[in-house]
Each structure stands twice: as C-alpha cells, then as structure tokens.
Structure 1
Amino acid sequence: MHFIIELLVNAGMILLLSHFLPTIIIRNWKTAILVALVIGLLNATVGAVLRFPLNLLTLWLLSFFVRLLVTAVIIKIVDWIFDDFEIKGFLPALILAVALAIDGSFLSFALQHGNY
C-alpha cells in the first residue's frame, strides 16, 4: 500500500511541476504514473549501482548531493524513454529530483507516524 501511495504522490509532484515549469512537459496523468514508476525502478537498480562508486569517491561526505545528481540523470534517461514526457535541460531535471526528494521525505515521515 505504501508503494502505491508513494507512486501516486510522485506522479502528482511531476504533474504539479509540469504546470509551473515550462521546461517540463508531460501529456497526461497516465504518463505521469508510468514516469514515476520507471524513475523509481531505475533509481532502485541503476541508481544504486551509480551511487556506490561516486559515494566511495566522496567518502560518503556528499551522499545527498550524489543521490540528487544520480536521480537527475535517471530523470533525463526516462525523458529519452517516453515520448509524452520531456525535460528541456539538466537544471529542470535537478529541480524535479529535489522536489521528489523533499516529497519523499515528507511522505515517509507521514507514513511512519500516521495510521496509513
């Protein structure tokens, strides 16, 4: 159940940012859900493989920034996969990565301390 809630909240965040940032284009809510799902899957698999050597390089001192940069790269990869999802530039992908990290933090706090 937590996975579905997190998926829907992330899709909502992607849709919300697409309304405020003209450099993020998403066609409909179905694509937003698929994009959120693929970002989550790639972040859990490919992202973990990319983060490990980068964290070794920085001695885990910059792990938060490494996570944001890797997530932004994954968002750009998802941009190449979907035709109905477009991110124009790396900075909007980084902004989306920060927004997803913030909403993920709030959501995980709410799910741990609530009755969900």
Structure 2
Amino acid sequence: MTESSGTGVEALLRADSVALAASTFVRVFAGVGLGREQARYQVGKELHRQFGKPHSDDHYAYEAIVLQLVLVWEQARVAARAHSGVLILLPDGVRLLAATDATDELRALLSR
C-alpha cells in the first residue's frame, strides 16, 4: 500500500486491512532480527505517519486499528505479543520482510 489518499480515521478505516497490515509490518519491523522485540507503540507511530495524528475523538479508533493489525500478524504467525507493549518477530515474519510483494505474501500466510 502506498501513502493514503486521505488522512484521518476515515481514510484509515477505508484502507484494505491486509494491505495495511503488510505495509505497516514491513515498516515497523524493518531491521528487527528474528526473535527480537519491537515496541507496539511503533505501530501507532507508523499509522500517524501515514494517516495523520488522530483527533481526540478518533484516538480509540486508531487504537482499535492497531490491535486489528497485531491480530492479523498473530493470525499469520509473523509477530506475536510478548509482554506489555512488546511484539516479537517470528520466523514467518522474516519471510514476510523478504517478500517482493508483502501484501500477497501476507495473504498467502493467512490462507494456510
């Protein structure tokens, strides 16, 4: 997925969830080694970069999207929640990071 055509929660909610999960994963986990930790807040930071910072009323919508992305990653077994605010890069996550088309690769990982 490329940069959003709009900003804010409306554009975020219109985004294809698998494509958003793939592109966000690649940006958040770039340079993170297998089994290494990445702070969950980096996911929100990446969404802010792409869609703008949420207005106070939209904060919970952004948090819900962050959780949805993490759940997609866990379902695909590319990352897992470890402890408070920490995500761990799993072996299939390394495969996703190396993929030519991250969205297609994530869809394949989700369908197995």
Q: Is TM > 0.5 for Structure 1 vs Structure 2?
A: no
User: Larger helix proportion, structure 1 or 2?
Assistant: 1
Length-normalised TM-score, structure 1: 0.33
Length-normalised TM-score, structure 2: 0.34
